[in-house]
Amino acid sequence: METIFVVCAVTATLAFVALAAQAILTLRQLRQTAKAVEYLALNADGKLTAMDPVVDAVQTVASGISSGWFRAARAFYGFFAKK
């Protein structure tokens, strides 16, 4: 009976050691990923401000699509497109 307890204790210990090793590897990778995200966030600020004209143009198009003129044009087209 003692042999079974020893085998179970050794198995549980090995499983715990494997879990701890995997947790350490995961935390290392998480630290590297956090550093990369921080670097990206710090360097992307200047590059994203260069895209402001593009964002403004997209917002203008989006507001034009949602305006009444677009709805009227779509209704007009739908009136003649029906067969």
pLDDT in tens, 25-81: 999 999 999 999 999 888 887 777 777 788 888 888 777 776 677 677 777 777 777
- Does 28 lie in the same domain as 64? no
Residue 83, pLDDT > 60, answer no
- Does 34 lie in the same domain as 23? yes
- Does 41 lie in the same domain as 72? no
User: For 82, left (φ over 0), alpha (ψ -120 to 50), or beta?
Assistant: beta
Structural domain range at position 72: 51-83
Matching residue, tokens 């401000």: 49
Matching residue, tokens 């007009």: 76
Residue 15, pLDDT > 90, answer yes
Question: H-helix or E-strand containing 14?
Answer: helix 2-49
pLDDT score, position 62? 76
Structural contact between residues 64 and 70, judged by C-beta atoms closer than 8 angstroms: yes
User: Averaged over 11-19, what is the pLDDT?
Assistant: 97
- Does 66 lie in the same domain as 38? no
Report the number of distinct structural domains present in the chain: 2
Residue 24, pLDDT > 90, answer yes
pLDDT score, position 7? 95
